[in-house]
Amino acid sequence: MQMYPLRQGVPGFTFSAVLAGIKKKTGLDLGLILSDAPCPAAGVFTRNSVKAAPVLSCTAKLQDGLARAVLVNSGNANACTGEQGLRSADLTCEALAQHLGIDRNHVLPCSTGVIGVPLPHETIIKAVPALISGSSPSKAPAFARSILTTDTRTKTIALRETINGRTVHMLGMAKGSGMIMPDMATMLAFIVTDAKVENKLLASLLREEAELSFNRICVDGDMSTNDTVLLLAGGASGAAVTRASHALDKFRAMLRRVMQELALLIVKDGEGATKLLRIHVSGARTQVDAKMAAMQVARSCLVKTAFFGEDFNWGRIIAAVGQSGAVCTPERISMLFNDIPAVRNGQAVPENRARLVRVMKKKDITLAIDLACGKKACEVLTCDLSYDYVKINADYTT
C-alpha cells in the first residue's frame, strides 16, 4: 500500500471547486465530485434527531445504492430550514443533473456551515456551469479546500494498492474541526475508489470502518446536524472485491487506513487545539464498557482543560471513568501517561510525578487506562480545550 499525490485523482472520477459566494468570507465554497457513470455508493450519517435537509436527501437517494455526483457547499448548513430547505437541496441537484444530462436522484447534496439560514440555492445554481466546466481529475485538492469552514487545513489521503493484479486507487477528503462527537459519523468525508464493489458490501464495510475511526474521535462533545460520510466505488480498475474474495482483506485495509487517517487529521485540527490525546482503555468487561469509559474521558471538559493547562490532575480522569457507566472498581484502576505509571490500583505513583509533569508539556500524549475488569479495549482520539476554542465559537455567526 502506497501513498500518492492527491492531484493524480482516481480513474473514473473528476473533481471541481468554485467560489460561488455562499460564505461571508471569500474562498472556494462549492465543490463537485463526478463519476464517469452511475456507481455503487454508500453513506453513514449523523444520528442527531435534528437532521439537515441534505442528510435527509442523501439518505433517501442512497436507497438504491447508486450515485453519479456529489455536490457540496460550505458556509451554509441548510439545517432547520423546513420544507424550503429540502426544496433548495432538490433545486441545486436538479440544476446539476440537467446540465450534465444525468438522473437527479444520482446527485447527492451535502452542506456545512451556519444552521438555521436559508440555503441560497439561486447562488449555487448560477455557479453550476462553471463548476462543471472546471471539472478535472487533478482538481481534488481544490475540492478539499472548498468544503472547509473553521478548519485551518485540508484533510486528505490518497492510497494505491495491487488487488487481483490490478492497481486500485482510493482517495479520501474530509472537513471537520468543531462539533465533533461521534455517533455513526461526525463531519463531512468523501472517499472514492476505482475498485469494483457491489453496493451492499460497500455499505457494510463503511459502517464497520466508521465504528473504528470516525466514531472514536471527539473534539468538543457536540454532534452536528449535517455529519455525512460518503463512499463511491467507480470500478474503473476492474479489480473486483467480493465477500468471498482474497481481495476483501486488502480493500478493507485500504479503507481502514483512509478513514483512520482522516479521523486523526480532524482531531489534530480541532478548533483551538494544542495537543493530540490518545485515550486507550483496556481491561474492560465489555466492548461497550471500554468505549463508554474512553469517550467519557475524551469529552470531559475538565480533563481537556487540564491537558491544555498542562496540569497533571489525574483525579479528573478517574472521576470521568467512574461517571461513564462502565463497570469498574476504583481500587483496581491503573493509568500510564506515555508509558509512565501515574496510578496503580487506584492510587498515585508519587515517585513518577516529576516525569509525569514533563509529559503534560508534550503535544502528543497517550493516556492508557486499565480497568482490570476484563479483556476488552478501545482507543479514542481527542484534543485539549483551549481559550481559542471559546473565541472561535463565541462569534461563529457574527
Looking at the annotation, which residues are catalytic? 186
* Sheet with 217-218: strands ordered across: 217-218, 376-383, 276-284, 364-370, 334-337, 340-344, 347-348
Write out the three cell numbers for 15.
473533481
Residue 97, number of CB atoms within 10 A of its CB: 19
Kind of pairing between the strands at 217-218 and 376-383:
parallel
How far is 246 from 255, CA to CA, in rounded Å?
15
Residue 331 in grid coordinates: 481500587
> Which residues in 23-36 are b (16+ Cβ under 10 Å) and which e?
beeeebbbbbbbbe
Give the 3-state DSSP-derived string for 37-62, with helices as H, strands as E and coil as C: EEEEEEEEECCCCCCCHHHHHHHHHH
**DSSP labels for 320-386?**
HHHHS-----GGG-EEEETTEEEEETTEE-GGGHHHHHHHTTSSEEEEEEE--S-SEEEEEEEE---
